[in-house]
Structure 1
């Protein structure tokens, strides 16, 4: 029985899972959920994730949500070193994955909700919230930029789940204008991922097509 992954093709969180599964060689069955049509809030989907968010993994009778947890599960199932080759490396990867959730992606997501999601329902962004999110992103990006000054990847000398977790906000940064381009080491690292991780580059095309198509269909110009 194949592992099912439910999610919207425009989701940066889904992108992290599909990129990881491809990089690890874990076969998955994609089940598309259209967030713009409210399909993540149907009674059937809410049984999988009561928060109404995607992605969600279903492996037999085991249901799991949150992209980071899904990726760790897939890595263990595959015996992949994307979750770490040693105990020390594993904990360094976990450190950065937790860091990404608390210090980083949450503010990128908040910006997306304000700058883009509100446009679909005809509401303006709250500039106070946007500037607060930008300040938090800049503070975190400064730490990350310094960390990447003398290394190619977040942990060790190769792609790991830490890279994919932290790269998530780059899925929408050109649309939301979050201030990532102010940090040269961060930009260089993202370009390196696009060149060295084929799955990350492929999923960028999927996200861009999905979000740009939704914006065009709604008549929204950025």
Structure 2
């Protein structure tokens, strides 16, 4: 039975899962959930798939799993994939950076996306103080990343891991939300290398861009 992945093609979180699946050769049946139409906010969705009303959600038979990082770990464990790291220490470092990414990195980029993109779409006033706070957090985290990535092609070891995909996720919306990532040359060079070296990451970028650009044009929003 083919596993199903529920999500919106404009989602950077879904992108992390679909990229990892492509790299591992896992076939996932895509089930589109239109976030802009509120399809993840229905009582049925929350009861059956994710009580938070968020995507992506993986369904493997009668097993339901949400949170992109958890989904990727589940898929990689099923495949015994090197995306987990190939040594005990590297696997621990992969987990370190995945947890770091959720706590110190992506949460603040989501805040800015909501303020600069979400509120523009909804014609609501932006909280500039909140944006400034989140940008400060992003710069502090990016400074750590930039130092870590000096002379490195990957977050952990000498090959792509799930840590790279987690940390790279904010680049999915960087232009639209104007994250201050371009200030950090090692970080930019690392991400450019991912786009060049892994077609799956470039393909999912094109999918996110097409979905977002089409939606924004449909509602007459220019960022």
TM bucket by the smaller chain?
over 0.9
What residue is the counterpart of 2:219 in the other structure? 218
Give 1:172-191 correspondences, 5 Å limit: 172-191=173-192
- Partners in 2 of 1:200 and 1:166 — Cα distance? 13
What residue is the counterpart of 1:201 in the other structure? 202
Q: Which sits farther off after the overlay, 133-142 or 41-50?
A: 41-50
- Partners in 1 of 2:59 and 2:126 — Cα distance? 35
What residue is the counterpart of 1:79 in the other structure? 80
Give 1:54-65 correspondences, 5 Å limit: 54-65=55-66
TM-score by length of 1: 0.99
**Alpha-carbon displacement from aligned partner over 1:134-165 (angstroms, at most 9, x marks no partner):** 00000000000000002110001111000000
- Partners in 1 of 2:85 and 2:158 — Cα distance? 11
- Tell me which stretches of 4 or more aligned residues in structure 1 moved more than 4 Å: none
Measured after TM superposition, the shift of residue 210 of structure 1 is: 0.4
- Partners in 2 of 1:186 and 1:68 — Cα distance? 21
Give 1:74-113 correspondences, 5 Å limit: 74-113=75-114
- Partners in 2 of 1:4 and 1:40 — Cα distance? 15
Measured after TM superposition, the shift of residue 85 of structure 1 is: 1.0
Give 1:126-165 correspondences, 5 Å limit: 126-165=127-166
TM-score by length of 2: 0.98
How much is the aligned-residue C-alpha RMSD, in angstroms? Answer: 0.6
What residue is the counterpart of 1:69 in the other structure? 70
Give 1:106-125 correspondences, 5 Å limit: 106-125=107-126
